[in-house]
Amino acid sequence: MQYFTALKIGEKRVKSAQDILKAYTGSAMPALALKDNKSDQWEPVGEENFYGVVKESNGYMIVICDKNGIAKSLANWFTEEERINIVAKIKSEHAMEEYVGRLSLPV
C-alpha cells in the first residue's frame, strides 16, 4: 500500500479511537496511524479496538489499540479509582476487550 493511502486510513482509525476515549476521559491524544512491519510496506493500524492500561509512577494511562497492541489513542494520568471507572464504562458500553501484551506506544 502506498504511504499516503495507508496514512489516510490510519488517521481515520486513530480519530475514531480518539473520539471513543475522549468520551470517557475528557481528553485523548492521537497516537500511531501506521504499523511498523519488517517488510518495508506501509500499513495502517488495525480497525479493531481494544483497551490497554499502563501503570507508571504518575498514575495510569489508558490506551485504545489494535489487535497487535499498536496504540491509536491514549489518555493519561489517572488514579486507580478513575481508571477502574473509565475501563468499566468502556467495557460495558463498547463491549471492548482488554489487550494483554506489550503495547506499542509513541516515543
Answer whether the bond into residue 42 is a cis peptide, omega within 30°.
no
pLDDT in tens, the chain (107 residues): 889 999 999 999 999 999 999 999 999 999 999 987 777 788 999 999 999 999 999 999 999 999 999 999 999 999 999 999 999 999 999 999 999 999 999 97
- Tell me how far the alpha carbon of residue 33 is from its chain's centroid: 10
State residue 93's pLDDT score. Answer: 95
Answer whether 54's CB lies under 8 Å from 64's CB: no
Selection from 49, 61, 56, 55 nearest residue 98 by Cα = 49
State residue 39's pLDDT score. Answer: 77
State residue 17's pLDDT score. Answer: 98
Answer yes or no: is 100 within a domain.
Answer: no
Can you say whether residue 35 is alpha, beta or left, with left for phi > 0 and alpha for psi between -120 and 50 degrees?
Answer: beta
Q: Please give the residue range of the domain that contains residue 33.
A: 3-94
Answer yes or no: is 35 within a domain.
Answer: yes
When divided into structural domains, the chain yields a total of 1
Answer yes or no: is 102 within a domain.
Answer: no
Model pTM score? 0.92
